Structure 1
């Protein structure tokens, strides 16, 4: 079994710590087996996690037995990492272990020297400090995660989920990773990088205003061939204004948002109906089944047919019988949103 060790240092950020424990620990294969054994470990008997004190069942030696080591961030990224911890991490890496950091956990990984000469990322607010403190590391503040093979880094807390799903996909394939994504109510792969999460000069419009009526209308009309001019006219604005407001309020373009809405609709149809993939492609507004399959795989990480095989089995017969092919409501099996 693949051992995942999650290291808890004093002042560990609870979200960063819990994310890999939950994602890897809850994952099950089709036969019910567990592909990962998760071990929370620490350098001392108790760990100060701020709002609570943590006791872990494993010590630092478990790092040497691990296949993957996850390094959650700590409250103060500039705090000194105990040399004993760094030595164990270096030895684990020399033995072939894969090391991955969550958020400002990149500071811990960088302190080992293992990131020297490599590209890495961290939370965009901490990126300048990481670059200044570790000049040998090529810091990229714009991406959600960086995969160097043995050493991986991720951006802010939610990007830790992206990284965990990426690791699962590397280990077990897209179908299993898609299952993990559904369990986490998370898209398997988010488009864009950290730039979409940086606070803009003008805050997004509050709920009930701005683009919400247009977005709702787009969701209800995914089958229609819509151009930018059509969307701008529906929203009562120019194409330039439409593009600007979409960037401000959704972090993407109108057409990219529409494509993802079409894929969401297709996911529902694949889960709840027996319609052929070719028919579903037309129902959700794609001009050809090939274009549909390409976009679906790009967004979900798997093919429409594999998605149906993986997720339709989760619906009971009664659920399927009572699901209307024309309904926009999600099925009982929770579906992640882009």
Structure 2
């Protein structure tokens, strides 16, 4: 498999290094296992002879035209962690050129992939319109605001949709790299994961901080504060809307637009966050259930496992 990594100035160092290290490890392990050659042919390309990473390292890259016809082009993240930084990056001259190149590669039926902020470049090029995708959870509200034509599920770690693959936040580069190795050989991917101590992470859900997302919108932020004050009382959409002096439809529409989920689903996220902390603090499950508005501890146990994919014993081990 021939993979081109499109690297621009200001690339997220860890993202680029993670891709290269994972691919290199896969090739080395394949050779050690008796393969005649490594299964992955990797080329880092760019628009200049060298790029400067976000941390100031200078890296020589091949010109984009030198790669010929790869099987895949991967867009690692730029080091932009805030809304303003992302919007400014999307207007950079080299990023505009990257969007044109990505569209041209896609027209040739070359696979396109990106992780973290790199997914914004794909979306801004129009390549994700009508497709399923994920992105870094912390900027999902901005993604939804700008790219309504994309079917975003920011709870997922890696999403493949019609020859386009997207991955989640920062270390999602690791999951994306392993996805490529898995396409070559599931057995090799398992071996690489063990050598690099890569956990099996199919979801970003356990890493999402609900109140961080809520700050993207004034009404949703007010709803978040109301929800935290009323976790032990249970959820009522009518009570929430009345307390915030808005219509229920307004609250429903706004949370779905900003967060991609209903008010009840967001309330459940806050329940999970509070319950997880109480468990780490050593509280018994019955007490935890009462403090987050459940009369039945088994219902809370099922919610935690459904949302986090982990049982009570696993959560206690985190402490």
| Pairwise same-fold verdict (TM > 0.5) | yes
Q: Is the 8 A contact 1:246 1:254 kept in 2?
A: no
Cα shift at 1:89: 1.7
| TM-score under structure 1 length normalisation | 0.59
Distance 1:204 1:64, change over 3 A: farther
User: In the alignment, which of 137, 141, 145 is matched to residue 132 of structure 1?
Assistant: 145
Distance 2:107 2:62 in 1: 21
Q: Which residue, out of 42, 47, 58, partners 1:38?
A: 42
User: SS in structure 2 opposite 1:153?
Assistant: strand
Equivalent pair of 1:61/1:88 in contact (CA under 8 Å): no
Task: Check the 8 A contact 1:6/1:40 in 2, yes or no.
Answer: yes
Equivalent-residue separation in structure 1 for 2:171 and 2:300 (angstroms): 26
Partner of 2:213: none
1:72 aligns with 76
Q: Tell me how far apart the structure 1 counterparts of residues 53 and 312 of structure 2 sit (CA, whole Å).
A: 43
Say what the alpha-carbon RMSD is for the aligned residues. 3.6
Decide which moves more: 136-145 or 51-60: 51-60
Equivalent residues, number: 232
1:106-125 counterparts in 2 under 5 A? 106-125=119-138
Report if aligned partners of 1:104, 1:122 keep a CA contact under 8 Å in 2.
yes
3-state SS, counterpart of residue 6 of structure 2? strand
Is this contact kept in 1: 2:52–2:59, CA < 8 A? no
Task: Give the 3-state SS of the residue equivalent to 1:52 in structure 2.
Answer: coil
Change (3 A) 1:204 1:48: farther
2:108 to 85, 88, 95: 95
**1:166 aligned partner:** 179
Q: Counterpart of 2:61 in 1: which secondary structure?
A: coil
Match of 2:187 in 1: 175
Cα distance 1:190–1:256, how it changes in 2: closer, same or farther (>3 A)? Answer: farther
SS at the partner of 1:157? coil
Q: 1:243 to 1:20 in 2, by over 3 A?
A: same
1:251 aligned partner: 308
Larger helix proportion, structure 1 or 2? 2
Name stretches of at least 5 consecutive residues in structure 2 with no aligned partner.
81-85, 211-272, 287-294
For structure 1, which runs of at least 5 residues remain unmatched after alignment?
215-227, 230-237, 262-338
